[in-house]
């Protein structure tokens, strides 16, 4: 499902806008916004239009619920200079100035500042002035592209401001951009995103979602990612670093597990790929062994068959050829429904995640929860050994320098038990890595 930018038209009085700003709910500077660029002459011209009752251009805002406080907040996409001018005139931001006001019946305008206007009991001329606001919803890349497009006329964005808007200043978005640059070629080669989608920064949006989901430890609502990206209280610091590492590890794992991923299978679609990538994050967190080539090949065959099943069901539904569904077909129908309904909602994503988890998890072994041999196991191994020599090179060892080694590597599912233990020297234990040691 292609997400579209949606607009809702409203209006607010200047008094209401000031109230939102004073309450900390009106954010003038989301990460992509630019600094103040209007000169005093332009601000005076705006105030002249307001006092004469002329409409001013609409304010574009992103309305959402702040995760930290639960309050509805408004991020200004376009109209910062207009709102800033109103706030400066009224003394709510630095830079007070006077503007011409012409009262009914007077022959010429008078230059008045806000205090003078209030002393004349005429503040309602400004406070009750209606400003049209347009609430915007859409994906992160869509919101930023809208900002760039709107600001291509008038005081047009400079090339540096466009780069800042598209490549961000927040820590969260910088991390997403870095990750997207690393996997841009892979995403295009596998057919997950096309060149035009890359130009629209959809790869940055996808990486933002994967980082955010890694922090949650589950699938997330796409809208929440935009909120986190635009919030100063969003994901950052140690949590962001850890989430970025999880996302990177899981993408590398997915790429090595399923090297044949391409447009020939539905999991190259962005919504399906997201589900698959988060599933690998889940499997990594559970300690499943994901580097067994034979099991990975089996998982790929199952994914391919499942993809064909979903596509076949979708084609049959177009031709109204659906018959009584078998239990397997019912699972395919549920997955298809979770894609068609609202593919980016948390409930649809969770449904797809659960289906894929039930399909693939039984194929993989789980690593032993105990990674290292215990002191007791080391003592038993040492004291029951026929020879206290390295099993690889035969060199004699003493208690202080012997290593307890997994005969079948831990990373390949080897258990941390004495039947899978051998005495090695440090050199050969480190050199062995993930290789299986040959036994006589």
Could you write out the DSSP letters of every residue in 384-428?
Answer: H-S--B-TTT--B--TTT-EEEESS-GGGT--SSGGGEEEE-HHH
Assign 337 to helix, strand or coil.
helix
Taking the CB of residue 68, how many other CB atoms lie within 10 A of it?
Answer: 11
Polymer length in residues for the chain: 440
Q: Over 70: is that where the pLDDT of 166 sits? A: no
Q: How confident is the model at residue 160 (pLDDT cuts 50, 70, 90)?
A: very low
Give the pLDDT confidence of 274-329 residue by residue, as tens digits.
999 999 999 999 989 898 899 999 999 999 999 999 998 888 877 665 555 666 78
Paired tokens of 211:
């980082």
Q: Is 50 exceeded by the pLDDT of residue 6? A: yes
Where are the domains positioned within the chain?
6-157, 168-363, 375-432
Determine the distance from the C-alpha atom of residue 402 to the mean position of all C-alpha atoms in its chain, rounded to a whole number: 46
User: Would you state the pLDDT for residue 282?
Assistant: 96
pLDDT confidence bin for 2, thresholds 50/70/90: very low
Strands 130-137 and 72-78: unpaired
Torsion sign, CA atoms 16, 21, 23, 28: positive
Q: Residue 30: which residues within 8 A CB-CB, separation 6 or more?
A: 62, 75, 76, 77, 230
The per-residue pLDDT of the chain, averaged, comes to 85
Q: Is the dihedral of CA 247, 251, 252, 256 positive or negative?
A: positive
Confidence of residue 439 (pLDDT cuts 50, 70, 90): very low
Q: Is the pLDDT of residue 167 over 60?
A: no
Amino acid 156: pLDDT: 54
Q: pLDDT value at position 69?
A: 80
Whether the per-residue pLDDT at 122 is higher than 70: the answer is yes
Determine the Cα–Cα distance for residues 90 and 33; give it in Å rounded to an integer.
23
What per-residue confidence (pLDDT) applies to 106? 80
Read off φ and ψ for residue 191, nearest 5 degrees: 80, 15
DSSP string, 180-212: HHHHHHHHHHTTSS-HHHHHTTHHHHHHHHHHH
What percentage of the chain has pLDDT greater than the value 70? 85
- Contact status, residue 268 vs residue 191, Cβ threshold 8 Å: yes
Alpha carbon distance 293, 397 (integer Å):
36
d(CA 232, CA 172): 10
Q: 342-385 pLDDT, tens per residue?
A: 777 888 999 999 999 999 999 998 876 777 888 888 888 898 88
Give bridge partners of residue 26 from the DSSP assignment.
74
Lowest-confidence region among 80-84, 313-317, 392-396 = 313-317
Q: How far apart are CA 437 and CA 424, in angstroms?
A: 11
Q: Which among 173, 192, 345, 169 is positioned nearest to 244, based on CA atoms?
A: 173
pLDDT over 80 (residue 17): yes
Query: If we measure between CA atoms, which residue out of 416, 406, 433 comes closest to residue 367?
Result: 416
Query: 374's torsion region: left (phi>0), alpha (psi -120 to 50) or beta?
Result: beta
Beta-carbon contacts of residue 28 (< 8 Å; ≥ 6 apart): 21, 76, 80, 83, 84
3-state helix, strand, coil in the chain (%, to 5): 50, 10, 35
Percentage of the chain exceeding pLDDT 90? 46
Q: What pLDDT score was predicted for residue 30?
A: 65
- Residue 11: predicted pLDDT: 92
| Tokens at 40, concatenated | 């005093």
Strand pairing partners for 160? none
Long-range contacts of 303-310 (CB under 8 A, 24+ apart): 303/258, 303/265, 303/267, 303/276, 303/360, 304/265, 306/332, 306/335, 306/359, 307/265, 307/266, 307/267, 310/266, 310/335, 310/336, 310/339
Mean pLDDT across the stretch 403-418? Answer: 84
């Amino acid at each position: 499902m292609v997400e579209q930018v949606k607009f809702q038209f409203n209006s607010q009085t200047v008094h209401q806008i000031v109230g939102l700003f004073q309450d900390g709910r009106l954010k003038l500077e989301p990460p992509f916004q630019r600094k103040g660029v209007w000169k005093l002459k332009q601000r005076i011209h705006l105030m002249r239009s307001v006092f004469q009752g002329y409409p001013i251009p609409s304010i574009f805002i992103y309305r959402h619920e702040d995760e930290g406080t639960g309050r509805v907040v408004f991020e200004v996409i376009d109209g910062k200079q207009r709102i800033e001018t109103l706030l400066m005139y009224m003394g709510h931001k630095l830079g007070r100035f006077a503007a011409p006001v012409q009262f009914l019946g007077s022959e010429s305008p008078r230059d008045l500042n806000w205090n003078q206007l209030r002393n004349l009991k005429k503040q309602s001329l400004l406070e009750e002035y209606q400003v049209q606001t347009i609430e915007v919803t859409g994906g992160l890349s869509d919101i930023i592209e809208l900002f760039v497009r709107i600001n291509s006329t008038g005081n047009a964005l400079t090339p540096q401001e466009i780069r800042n808007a598209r490549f961000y200043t927040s820590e969260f978005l910088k991390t997403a951009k870095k990750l997207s640059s690393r996997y841009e070629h892979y995403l295009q080669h596998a057919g997950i995103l096309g060149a035009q989608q890359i130009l629209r920064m959809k790869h940055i949006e996808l990486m933002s979602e994967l980082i955010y989901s890694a922090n949650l430890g589950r699938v997330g609502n796409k809208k929440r990612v935009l909120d986190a990206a635009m919030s100063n209280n969003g994901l950052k610091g140690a949590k962001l670093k850890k989430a970025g590492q999880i996302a990177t590890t899981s993408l590398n794992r997915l790429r090595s597990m399923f090297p044949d991923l391409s447009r020939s299978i539905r999991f190259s679609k962005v919504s399906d790929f997201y589900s698959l990538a988060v599933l690998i994050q889940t499997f990594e967190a559970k300690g499943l062994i994901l580097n067994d080539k034979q099991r990975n090949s089996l998982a790929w065959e199952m994914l391919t068959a499942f993809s064909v099943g979903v596509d076949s069901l979708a084609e049959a539904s177009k031709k109204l050829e659906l018959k009584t569904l078998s239990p397997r077909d019912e699972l395919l129908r549920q997955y298809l429904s979770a894609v068609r309904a609202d593919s980016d909602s948390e409930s649809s994503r969770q449904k797809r995640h659960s289906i894929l988890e039930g399909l693939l998890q039984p194929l993989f072994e789980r690593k032993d929860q105990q990674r290292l041999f215990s002191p007791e196991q080391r003592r038993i191994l040492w004291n029951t050994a026929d020879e206290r020599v390295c099993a690889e090179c035969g060199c004699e060892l003493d208690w202080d320098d012997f290593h307890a080694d997994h005969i079948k590597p831990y990373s390949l599912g080897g258990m941390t038990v004495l039947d899978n233990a051998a005495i090695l020297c440090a050199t050969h234990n480190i050199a062995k890595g993930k290789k299986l040691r040959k036994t006589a």
